[in-house]
Structure 1
């Protein structure tokens, strides 16, 4: 539907191809941000509005949006719809599902309206009242939903040192990326002691990854004349390192030239993009809690513990197996996509790998290779974006058939390591 709308004459300055429209709509609804057309110069206001609506629907979640409409019409949520919604929101119970959906809706509205009002302070002086307001609304929607789309051709490089942009945009995509369950916990429950294990792991994991991203960006790019080295003061370099270090995992905005990054920094960003944000959020990737569970399982193994626990709570074996399956499927997916693009394209390996990692993490950062993709390459990236947004395990659960084991076999020995 998004592609069909973007093909209409009022949406673009010049006609675009069906593949351009399909790629753009896929990137928008999966809140990725990879673009084969210029959002500022190739799309009219109406085309940008279509992209913004697709971003909102993709970030909010089509199941969540459907339940909002369902409940607004006064209809009750059936068992089948409850099952789908429970899986979509990563909940273990049917209780308060509709209430959680309305909580998500309120968080989205409050955050995006507040973000747009604050961004107006930066955009209106440069672009006027009407254009500045639209830029503020679009970037607020894009930031909260971790999409990375921008109505400015060079991204946010023109606002690299703007204090409002460097505060509001990261705040929006961090809140959107940690997940609605975490936001509800932090808002409604007492500090730390009242928080669930999931919330604690997400807060600590997000903090650690942010410190790693910002710190290593500053260290690796400090003297690079194409990125941080172009700024004279240490404060300016740290400001850009802050923005680029925290945006990498989820949002995909850029305040510097991504194509100018050192290969070492690009490799760091690929790892951060693959990790992504939190479950039940607007972010992609394998998720922070998945990595946290695997780290805890590794520590337990090295310490010869049979139980996996954190903060006085044990982690079930089923969750560990789920984390292992997710990482294995994600690794196989990324490897296959990189192999297919390397086989069909002549680009640099680091550029291709970066593009795939960005698509899987629904981040949207690119080393300038998106425009070099053939139609086959675009189809591969579109598939990776889709799987990165809905989650590889979601597809696996729908395709798999639950089987109850009727036979228990004697234990065997397998040599590992």
Structure 2
């Protein structure tokens, strides 16, 4: 009975319950524009994609689903991005009817650098930041769509709200068939969306640190410093590389004026970090840009936020380990701090298991289709990293491959969280140690 209430299992079950409810709602005749029940695979795929804040779709969101169906999808990715881990933790506390030390450790593991006493403060910050950011971006988008694109206020308000919530939750769902390609030259549309993506995806532990210690960066936690520096490096590196790779590509940036090239390259770099929107045709990118997206999508955003991937801090820890090994140092150090052995082991575990899921998914889909390998890899990493970008093959995949993508989306969103919690809670000292031996490496 004790294992049934393990927090990691609670998280997984809560996600499954929400996905099941979403699937049933999307199968209702009222959820589709035609008034006919959606096939169960279509409803399931959409529900998983929404709850796991991915954005991959097998049907066009704006035309296939009715207003009711679109509202259901919005609610699903709001729940998935708002912090299902927090809700699951509270559920576990209610079941146990006491704030046990074990439950406090669960919350600390999810919030990484935060102490057990900060749970209420974090929950309040999550709520305030979420509503404030979504409301601000929704108002900006609605006003722009009404004034510059002649949409009536109800249509502009709905489009603004849908894309604001989708952006903040890094969901990537759009009610436009071409995502945001119609606004590729409009900074007043893309800039608020980028801001929402970054704030939502950077992680609430970082936002909490910035909120409480903004005036004194010296007291920021190591997690905050790693996440901020890693995010800045990935955004700038992705921006410069995309400019380089796509500068002369007539199907993407090649035909654009300089200002639009800079805007679209920056938006693509931001969105590749698990947001899933696109202002240029992803299927028309060069193979180099696809390879760059593999890296950006797999790493993802910040821990305990709305982003997916193996997380920026995980990648930073692994790089620091490599630097320490190359330099012959016993410890991995940065910003005057030494990385714990436990965090290094956990980073390696997340990387290996994440890579294994990507390889497995790629092999399964390649066996079932004749699609190019690079496109399949792109789709698989996009699903596992809960990104939502696609080269255009999602709807063309057989149902078995689409179901494989749902497994990857669920694992990418739920698996990394539950794995981190399980590792944090499962660590214990053994009463004995075997003799040490050093196998040959390399």
TM range (shorter): over 0.9
In the alignment, which of 93, 111, 133 is matched to residue 133 of structure 2?
Answer: 111
In the TM superposition, 1:196-235 aligns within 5 A as 196-231=221-256, 233-235=257-259
Is it true that 1:12 corresponds to 2:32 in the alignment?
A: yes
Q: Distance in 2 between matches of 1:77 and 1:388?
A: 29
Cα pair distance change 1:42/1:219, threshold 3 Å: same
Is it true that 1:364 corresponds to 2:388 in the alignment?
A: yes
The residue that corresponds to 1:181 in the other structure is 205
CA contact (8 A) 2:109 2:420 kept: no
Deviations 1:194-248 (A, max 9, x none): 31111111111111100111111111001111111132x1111111111112111
In the TM superposition, 1:111-130 aligns within 5 A as 111-125=133-147, 126=149, 127-130=151-154
In the alignment, which of 321, 341, 358 is matched to residue 365 of structure 2?
Answer: 341
Q: Which runs of 5+ in 2 are unaligned?
A: 1-20
3-state secondary structure, aligned to 1:363: coil
Q: Distance in 2 between matches of 1:204 and 1:302?
A: 21
The residue that corresponds to 1:416 in the other structure is 441
Is it true that 1:54 corresponds to 2:76 in the alignment?
A: yes
Q: Distance in 2 between matches of 1:76 and 1:131?
A: 47
3-state secondary structure, aligned to 2:226: helix
Q: Distance in 2 between matches of 1:285 and 1:314?
A: 24
In the alignment, which of 268, 271, 283 is matched to residue 259 of structure 1?
Answer: 283
The residue that corresponds to 1:388 in the other structure is 412
**CA positional deviation for 1:159:** 0.7
**CA positional deviation for 1:186:** 1.7
In the TM superposition, 1:133-152 aligns within 5 A as 133-152=157-176
Q: Distance in 2 between matches of 1:181 and 1:92?
A: 7
**CA positional deviation for 1:89:** 3.2
**CA positional deviation for 1:257:** 0.5
Deviations 1:302-356 (A, max 9, x none): 1111121111111111111111111111111100110111111111111100000
The residue that corresponds to 1:373 in the other structure is 397
**CA positional deviation for 1:403:** 6.8
Q: Distance in 2 between matches of 1:403 and 1:197?
A: 24
Cα pair distance change 1:3/1:80, threshold 3 Å: farther
Q: Distance in 2 between matches of 1:265 and 1:129?
A: 38
The residue that corresponds to 1:100 in the other structure is 122
3-state secondary structure, aligned to 1:52: helix
In the TM superposition, 1:30-69 aligns within 5 A as 30-65=52-87
Cα pair distance change 1:70/1:341, threshold 3 Å: closer
Is it true that 1:320 corresponds to 2:344 in the alignment?
A: yes
Deviations 1:5-48 (A, max 9, x none): 01111111133200000000000000000001111001111111
TM-score (norm 2): 0.89
The residue that corresponds to 1:354 in the other structure is 378
3-state secondary structure, aligned to 1:61: helix
Q: Distance in 2 between matches of 1:54 and 1:289?
A: 27
Q: Which runs of 5+ in 1 are unaligned?
A: none
TM-score (norm 1): 0.94
3-state secondary structure, aligned to 1:223: coil
